[in-house]
């Protein structure tokens, strides 16, 4: 007697039809680093294939993003000057604010998301104002809210607070509402773990803490229930989208959050995840492209609705080629 194959083996069309996870280009967000200066598009050594752009150079990369079919960008600022209070984060002519204006003017259709945090702007590299040796949560909230407001005033569609201060979603929501922007969205980095995978980002953005670490306000990798607690609180405070970060070592957290909240869940495949695959690929140890596709499929399979990734443009190309999605 012939054994019937357990899996459907009728070729590519069938395989595609019964696929359980679909990846859409519209679910991808591409991160962009903005630095001071003019005419600059410098390579980031720690993130092969990624660059820091001066505001005037942004149209080129945004055009590439939109041309690939990806509709959203996430902006990070890399200022020249930093101070104790991180004032570069919320001044009207800050590097992100200027970048947003340049993009908004040229591309009314692109969805602009901005990272809201102080760590790239503080001289000590922490995500909030420092009192003594630790971050002063409550003194930081108005500064984050001001940063968010200045981003939407410049034309951002959505702000993404990544600082992990308690109560910041509520503070930002109230400030945006009072400022006349009730329609602007908040994507909260709800479950942001204290992670070694942020290493290359800190080089890219020059934001490594000068003393101590971020364990006081970022989460412990041993905890999952705590992530649910954070995500639920953020939804209560007004988050439109909640995020889990990093992605690859936290797929169970993505699943759990997906099952417990009624808003979209984003996952951030962070700098270290990208750099790790890149260097293993360059060393000839793994096939870079298929590893990236496998990781992206895994994140969506775990339940993410949105993926923030340095691979967004490449992924869009692979979707076009039918190699993923």
**Contact map string, positions 199 to 228, toward ligand PBG, x by CB under 6 A:** --xx--------------------------
48 to 39, 41, 278, 281, 297: CA distances (angstroms): 20, 13, 7, 11, 22
Q: Interaction with ligand PBG in 123-182: which residues (CB under 6 A)? A: 127, 162
Tokens 């040229």 belong to 106
Least Å from the CB of residue 163 to ligand PBG: 6
Judged by CB under 6 A, which stretch of 15-23, 87-95, 194-202, 297-305 contacts ligand PBG? 194-202
The pair of structure tokens assigned to 235 is 């939804």
Four-CA torsion 92, 94, 95, 100, nearest 10 degrees: -20
Told to judge if 184 belongs to the known catalytic residues of this protein, a careful annotator would answer no
CA triple 24-73-323, angle to 5 deg: 30
Least Å from the CB of residue 198 to ligand PBG: 4
Tokens 């270290």 belong to 272
Q: Active-site residue among 25, 170, 192, 278?
A: 192
Count of C-beta atoms within a 10 Å radius of residue 109: 6
**In the set 103, 115, 151, 154, which binds ligand PBG (CB under 6 A)?**
115
Dihedral (CA of 37, 203, 127, 234) sign: positive
DSSP state string for 79-107: -S--BTT-GGGTSTT-HHHHHHHHHHHH-
Told to judge if 25 belongs to the known catalytic residues of this protein, a careful annotator would answer no
Which residues lie across from 34 on neighbouring strands?
A: 53, 77
Whose CA is closest to 296, among 284, 283, 279, 312?
312
DSSP state string for 130-143: EETTEE-HHHHHHH
**Contact map string, positions 264 to 303, toward ligand PBG, x by CB under 6 A:** ------xx--------------------------------
Least Å from the CB of residue 130 to ligand PBG: 15
Least Å from the CB of residue 274 to ligand PBG: 7
Least Å from the CB of residue 316 to ligand PBG: 19
Tokens 């005419």 belong to 39
Judged by CB under 6 A, which stretch of 58-66, 85-93, 196-204, 229-237 contacts ligand PBG? 196-204
Least Å from the CB of residue 245 to ligand PBG: 7
Q: Which is nearer to ligand PBG, 119 or 267 (CB)?
A: 119
CA-to-CA distance for 7 and 44, rounded, in angstroms?
A: 44
β 28-35/51-53 pair status: parallel
The pair of structure tokens assigned to 105 is 């003017």
**In the set 117, 141, 256, 265, which binds ligand PBG (CB under 6 A)?**
117
Q: Answer yes or no whether residue 315 interacts with ligand PBG by CB under 6 A.
A: no
Judged by CB under 6 A, which stretch of 78-86, 90-98, 113-121, 258-266 contacts ligand PBG? 113-121
Judged by CB under 6 A, which stretch of 101-109, 112-120, 223-231, 255-263 contacts ligand PBG? 112-120
Provide the annotated active-site residues.
192, 245
Q: Which residues bind ligand PBG (CB under 6 A)?
A: 115, 117, 119, 127, 162, 198, 201-202, 270-271
């Amino acid at each position: 007697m012939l054994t019937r194959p357990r899996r459907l083996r009728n070729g590519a069309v069938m395989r595609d039809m019964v696929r359980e996870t679909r990846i859409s280009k519209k679910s991808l967000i591409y991160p962009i680093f903005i630095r001071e200066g003019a005419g600059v598009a410098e390579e980031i050594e720690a993130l092969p294939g990624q660059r820091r752009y001066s505001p005037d150079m942004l149209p080129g990369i945004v055009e590439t993003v939109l041309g690939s079919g990806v509709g959203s960008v996430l902006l990070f600022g890399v200022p020249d000057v930093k101070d104790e209070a991180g004032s570069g984060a919320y001044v009207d002519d800050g590097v992100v604010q200027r970048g947003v204006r340049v993009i908004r003017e040229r591309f009314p259709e692109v969805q602009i998301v901005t990272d809201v945090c102080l760590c790239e702007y503080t001289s000590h590299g922490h995500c909030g104002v420092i009192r003594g040796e630790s971050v002063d949560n409550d003194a930081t909230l108005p500064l984050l809210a001001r940063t968010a407001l200045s981003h939407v005033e410049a034309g951002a569609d959505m702000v993404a607070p990544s600082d992990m201060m308690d109560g910041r979603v509520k503070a930002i929501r109230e400030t945006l509402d009072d400022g006349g922007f009730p329609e602007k969205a908040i994507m909260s980095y709800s479950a942001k773990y204290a992670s070694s995978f942020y290493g290359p980002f800190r080089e890219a953005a020059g934001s490594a803490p000068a003393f101590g670490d971020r364990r006081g306000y970022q989460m412990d990798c041993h905890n999952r229930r705590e992530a649910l607690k954070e995500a639920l609180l953020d939804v209560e405070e007004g988050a439109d989208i909640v995020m889990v970060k990093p992605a690859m070592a936290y797929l169970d957290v993505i699943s759990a959050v997906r099952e417990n909240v009624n808003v979209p869940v984003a996952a951030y495949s962070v700098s270290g995840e990208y750099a790790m695959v890149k260097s293993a690929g360059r060393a000839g140890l793994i096939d870079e492209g298929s590893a990236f596709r496998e990781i992206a499929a895994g994140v969506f399979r775990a339940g993410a609705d949105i993926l923030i990734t340095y691979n967004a443009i490449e992924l869009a190309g692979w979707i076009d080629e039918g190699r993923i999605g």
